[in-house]
Amino acid sequence: MKLWISVASFLFSLFTSAESTAVKRAVPQGFVTTRGAEFELDGSPFAFVGANSYWLPLLTTAQDVETTFQQMHAAGVKVLRTWGFNAINASELAGALESGLTYYQVWNNSDWTLNDGPQGLERLDNVLNTALKYDIRVILAFTNNWVGYGGMELYVDHIMPGASTHDVFYTDPRMIASYQRYVKTIVNRYKDSPAIFAWEMMNEARCLGDLPSSSACSAPLGTIPTWYKEQSDFIRSLDPFHLITTGGEGHFYWQNPAFASDYNFNGQAGEDFDFDLTLPNVDFATYHMYPQLWYPQLDFPGSNFTVEGWGLFWIDAHANAAKKAGKPLILEEFGVTGLTNKTTIYPSWVGRALDTKHGGQVQTYLLIFVSHFISTTG
Ligand SMILES: *[C@@H]1O[C@H](CO)[C@@H](O)[C@H](O)[C@H]1NC(C)=O
Ligand SMILES: *[C@@H]1O[C@H](CO)[C@@H](O)[C@H](O)[C@H]1NC(C)=O
Ligand SMILES: *[C@@H]1O[C@H](CO)[C@@H](O)[C@H](O)[C@H]1NC(C)=O
Ligand SMILES: *[C@@H]1O[C@H](CO)[C@@H](O)[C@H](O)[C@H]1NC(C)=O
């Protein structure tokens, strides 16, 4: 049964912000768009707080999904970010069937088969239908840089067994074809649904994962920026209407000697936040923030940041870059360990995100996804 509103009427908004001459896409009713550095919904500014709940489709009962959305709705959440992937391998299948684990892809040898049944994509259908019922829109990621939940290294392990580097994923044509086959499956299934806020190419794309990076993959050499370009164009060819974003952590490629040895700024991670934002089919920017994992003091000679101070610096850097690009920005994951750290630091970070307006438009929008500290991230 189709629970979301079918697409009947179209809104034709004329222009993006004054400084841009691009004609805005006309989208079906209920779809989110951007206007300069702001989001819009049906022609009006769309401000929101969000939740980053990668685990939601893993809930095994519809009642748990319902209860979660009820609580998010009551808390004012309007946008949810979650995983649009959950992959296992053939030897894990028996256990998954026994435990009721959600899985959409089963890898066997060099290929995967789709599970669109009750323990598979029907669970994601239910998440999206329930989201819409509670007026919550969903950012859906297609895979994960990290091995968790069947990330991109399952593609690497199965298509190129014994590969010694992680970043072959971004360049090997078999890998790209396999990823695109999955993307196409998901996009075609939900492309008419206003429950989708945006498609996300990958959670936290980096040159390295559980496998190391090759020396050929870094922002100056363009592996991930090129992959972002190709995949965002591919997604746009399937779906002209929904927003598209990277899902990246927001690493920079600053050609500044003071940052030459800092992994977050020297391009070694693979992203080039400023350049990636200029891609025509990257509609808005994302970044993440885990200072305790990302800022070993010695990486940054001569500076003495506190966890809070480093976070404020990272927020400012992204706000400035997004303002320059004239696109909206979402801080979609952040965290520190310890309750006391959270209660002292989070208000300061959220305050700074508000103060910097995350794009510099007239109104202030809170574009923050609160997530728990995930120790496997980073
Ligand atoms: C399947 O996944 C399990 C758990 O990650 C792993 O131990 C096993 O080696 C994998 N099997 C194959 C054939 O890849
Ligand atoms: C995996 O592939 C092998 C060889 O083609 C086949 O015998 C086996 O049944 C497959 N396993 C699953 C779970 O599909
Ligand atoms: C770093 O911290 C030490 C100790 O508080 C201080 O003396 C020093 O001036 C600081 N250095 C910089 C570059 O801020
Ligand atoms: C709070 O943050 C500091 C600085 O990173 C860290 O040393 C400390 O362990 C954290 N507290 C807890 C309870 O995790």
Pairing of strands 49-52, 77-83: parallel
Q: Taking a C-beta distance cutoff of 8 angstroms, is the pair 92, 159 a contact?
A: no
In a domain, 5, yes or no: no
Give the single-character DSSP code of 284: S
Which of 38, 40, 204, 271 is flagged as catalytic? 204
pTM value is 0.89
In a domain, 378, yes or no: no
For the question of residue 230 being annotated catalytic, the response is no
Rg of the chain on CA atoms, in Å: 20
- Say what the pLDDT of residue 357 is: 66
In a domain, 375, yes or no: no
Tell me: pLDDT of 14 over 80: no
In one-letter notation, the amino acid at residue 16 is: T
Q: Which of 304, 310, 313 to mutate to test the pocket of ligand 3 (most atoms within 8 A of CB)?
A: 304
Looking at residues 225-252, what average pLDDT do you find? 98
Query: How far, in Å, from the CA of 168 to the mean position of ligand 2?
Result: 25
Q: Which atom of ligand 2 is nearest to the CA of 108?
A: 1
Span 88-106, pLDDT tens digits: 999 999 999 999 999 999 9
Q: Which atom of ligand 3 is nearest to the CA of 302?
A: 13
Q: How confident is the model at residue 7 (pLDDT cuts 50, 70, 90)?
A: very low
What are the residues facing 287 on neighbouring strands? 331
In a domain, 135, yes or no: yes
Query: How far, in Å, from the CA of 211 to the mean position of ligand 2?
Result: 26
Give, using CA atoms, the residue closest to atom 7 of ligand 3.
304
Rounded-to-integer distance, Cα 218 and Cα 206, Å: 9
What is the extent of the structural domain holding 297? 12-365
Rounded-to-integer distance, Cα 174 and Cα 358, Å: 38
- Say what the pLDDT of residue 365 is: 37
Pick the closest to residue 119 from 88, 161, 148, 145 (CA basis): 88
- The pair of structure tokens assigned to 172 is 């090997």
Three-state SS at 217: coil
Pick the closest to residue 180 from 159, 166, 201, 204 (CA basis): 201
Q: Taking a C-beta distance cutoff of 8 angstroms, is the pair 45, 39 a contact?
A: yes
In a domain, 372, yes or no: no
Number of domains in the chain: 1
In a domain, 2, yes or no: no
- The pair of structure tokens assigned to 345 is 């630091």
Query: How far, in Å, from the CA of 312 to the mean position of ligand 2?
Result: 51
Rounded-to-integer distance, Cα 260 and Cα 203, Å: 25
Rounded-to-integer distance, Cα 72 and Cα 244, Å: 24
In a domain, 371, yes or no: no
- Say what the pLDDT of residue 24 is: 58
Torsion of CA 234, 238, 239, 244, to 10 degrees: -20
Looking at residues 121-127, what average pLDDT do you find? 98
312, HSE (Cβ side, Cα atoms, 13 Å)? 11
Q: Taking a C-beta distance cutoff of 8 angstroms, is the pair 174, 162 a contact?
A: no
Tell me: pLDDT of 8 over 60: no
Span 15-73, pLDDT tens digits: 223 334 344 568 999 999 999 988 999 989 888 878 888 899 999 999 999 999 999 99
Q: Give me the residue label for tokens 């690497």.
A: 156
Judge if the beta carbon of residue 188 lies within 6 A of ligand 1. Answer: no
Judge if the beta carbon of residue 91 lies within 6 A of ligand 1. Answer: yes
Query: How far, in Å, from the CA of 268 to the mean position of ligand 3?
Result: 27
Span 258-302, pLDDT tens digits: 999 999 999 999 999 999 999 999 999 999 999 999 987 877 777
Q: Which atom of ligand 1 is nearest to the CA of 107?
A: 14
Give, using CA atoms, the residue closest to atom 6 of ligand 2.
108
Three-state SS at 98: helix
Counting residues of the chain whose pLDDT is more than 90, the rounded percentage is 71
Q: How confident is the model at residue 308 (pLDDT cuts 50, 70, 90)?
A: very high
DSSP for 325-337, written as a single string: HT--EEEEEE--S
Q: Give me the residue label for tokens 């209660």.
A: 343
For the question of residue 92 being annotated catalytic, the response is no
Q: Choose between 75 and 298: higher pLDDT.
A: 75
Q: How confident is the model at residue 361 (pLDDT cuts 50, 70, 90)?
A: very low
Q: The domain that contains 26 carries what CATH number?
A: 3.20.20.80
Measured in residues, the chain has a length of 378
Full 3-state SS string of 117-169: CCCCHHHHHHHHHHHHHCCCEEEEECCECCCCCCCHHHHHHHHCCCCCCCCHH
In a domain, 4, yes or no: no
Rounded-to-integer distance, Cα 54 and Cα 91, Å: 24
Judge if the beta carbon of residue 306 lies within 6 A of ligand 1. Answer: no
- Say what the pLDDT of residue 374 is: 27
